[in-house]
Structure 1
């Protein structure tokens, strides 16, 4: 029987591009191809493995096909897949707790000062919203993941500070859930209601005691710690209109954060052919990378954002409570006297 050498069937790969070309990258090329500066990349390399990191970043940043990335780096397609999933899993386990943290009392005070100086909103410590992440329809309960936009997704709920850094993320709720329901499931609601997140630090604003709060859109309920706009029924008072304008202008920080997240890490714009668990690690890794790049002042190119902004989801919520009304009234009076 004629035996054919195995080498005939093996595709010879070259690592010349990685070994020779990448070391000559300019700073602009690092930003363009890997969505981060060389310094940020080297920081990751000190914690993880350089070439595997570069392969994973290339996939997350460009959403290129696995086969094209395998040719570029001179490795097998399966290796690319393993690199991406191993990297995302490692980032979630090793870096997430360092980079995305619930704020302590000192940090809350700092965030409130920034919001007040930047947008004139006293006691505000963040803004939050939800964004849909495309997925393959799961075999089980696939209807629950089919969102009102007509495709399968999981929901990323995030809270950001005034600079657009994530300080809390919750991921995995099925795409057909209302934003207010996702908030209840996330654990953030329970933390605040039990007094484990926002300390009882209040300011008297126009005769109303206002504690720390975050900004949400009309889909969320009004709470003492969650300020939402007045529902525009065509009969809003001038004071209410001013309040809506000022809070909406500040809340754009979370919309911008989602735009920059998806613009920088374009794998989030199209469904990824992996299960929900691996998708979760991938999205969390992108959130961590977003924070790292923002904290290090890495260049972000506005053309990356085109078509990525999150659209409002869910019907309006009319849920209110007395404490929330009191705080919102105080802020409304303040804004119309400024």
Structure 2
């Protein structure tokens, strides 16, 4: 992270962190507090190591991380990761169409598992299908790999589709308030904005998924699956860059569940800041992301009649474009 971005973060967090100062202790300088938190998030070093490196007590290092993450949630999260407005939706849709040929697409959704030490309560719920404990980070990203919706904290044993249904994103979509009604005529049908998901997600007019590969896909269905899969990689790449920069998300975290959730959200905010400020990213930081293999669709199958017409229209459109 450049000095300019670091100073920007310190300036923005200053009002919240200053509230936490008291007259009964010598306060650690603001920049050191933020630096301790960033170092912990970036390296996942033990608090003992962090305290030695920065010359503060272990409990002080813990407080620096807790207070800095809380301040990021209070100040930076609402303005850095937010639902796109009408103009932003248009911009995102144009980017997806220009890069991948997908009209009206404004994002891709996926889940990533964040490892943690087994919680004391309900620990079996956090044991995921790969054999370790985790919470799920559900995220929607735009075509440039910036988060515009994140939801985390659900136990790792939950299916991606179940996590979606527990999120505010699903609630907004069910009430018809996820996207503004900016319709575009495609193949004679009015199509609104939508996001892309893998086979684990339900099909809806606002959420496109691939045709199930039962060995009998038509050529047009294969073209649709191939083109949407290429675009959906953007969310997997984003998770890779997120965990490459902020390595606390790679290894088991022994903090409380609430603290882990706060750290995850903070890392998502910092990802957006670093990406939008064109901070350096080295490819060797990247790591293979567990759970890149999608969950199997829920059984029995969920009725998905709502989005079938939209998917069929987009399939024909993508095949027409491919034939040109």
Q: What's 2:89 paired with? A: 108
Distance 1:189 1:74 in 2: 46
Name the CA distance, whole Å, in 1 between partners of 2:302 and 2:178. 22
Q: Which residue of 1 aligns with 2:6?
A: 41
Q: 1:195 aligns with which of 167, 173, 176?
A: 176
- Structure 2: gaps of 5 or more residues: 14-29
Give the structure 2 partner of residue 21 of structure 1: none
2:287 is the alignment partner of 1:322: no
Quick one: distance in 2 between partners of 1:233 and 1:142? 36
Further displaced range: 310-319 or 45-54: 310-319
What CA distance in whole angstroms lies between the structure 2 residues aligned with 1:90 and 1:312? 34
CA shift for structure 1 position 105: 1.2
After superposition, where does 1:99-138 map in structure 2 within 5 Å? Answer: 99-138=80-119
Whole-Å Cα distance in 2 between the matches of residues 161 and 269 of structure 1?
23
CA contact (8 A) 1:259 1:310 kept: no
Matched, 1:247 2:228: yes
How far residue 114 of structure 1 moved from its aligned partner, in angstroms, is: 0.9
Tell me, yes or no, if the aligned pair for 1:259 and 1:309 is still in contact at 8 Å: no
Q: CA deviation at 1:309?
A: 5.7
Give the secondary-structure state (helix, strand or coil) at the position aligned to 1:323. Answer: coil
Given candidates 54, 57, 79, the residue that maps to 1:73 is: 54
User: Unpaired segments of 5 or more residues in structure 1?
Assistant: 1-35
1:331 maps to which of 302, 307, 314: 314
- CA RMSD of superposed structures (Å): 1.3
C-alpha displacement of 1:54: 0.9
Give the TM-score normalised by structure 2.
Answer: 0.90
Conservation of the 8 A alpha-carbon contact between 1:258 and 1:310:
no
Contact 1:129–1:158, Cα closer than 8 Å, also in 2: yes
- 2:247 pairs, out of 247, 251, 266, with 266
Q: Deviations over 1:269-321 (max 9, x none)?
A: 11211111111111000000001111111111111112236423421244353
Count matched residues: 303
Corresponding residue SS for 1:162: coil
The aligned runs of 1:229-244 (5 Å cut-off) are 229-244=210-225
Q: CA–CA distance in 2 between the matches of 1:319 and 1:300?
A: 41
Secondary structure of the corresponding residue to residue 36 of structure 2: helix
Matched with 1:9 is none
Which residue is equivalent to 2:22?
none
Following superposition, the deviation at residue 140 of structure 1 comes to: 1.6
- Alpha-carbon deviations, 1:165-212, whole Å to 9, x = none? 111111111111111110000021110121222122222222332211
My pick for the range that moved more, 112-121 or 203-212, is 203-212
Distance 2:53 2:116 in 1: 26
- SS of the aligned residue for 1:130 comes to strand
* TM superposition shift of 1:322: 2.8
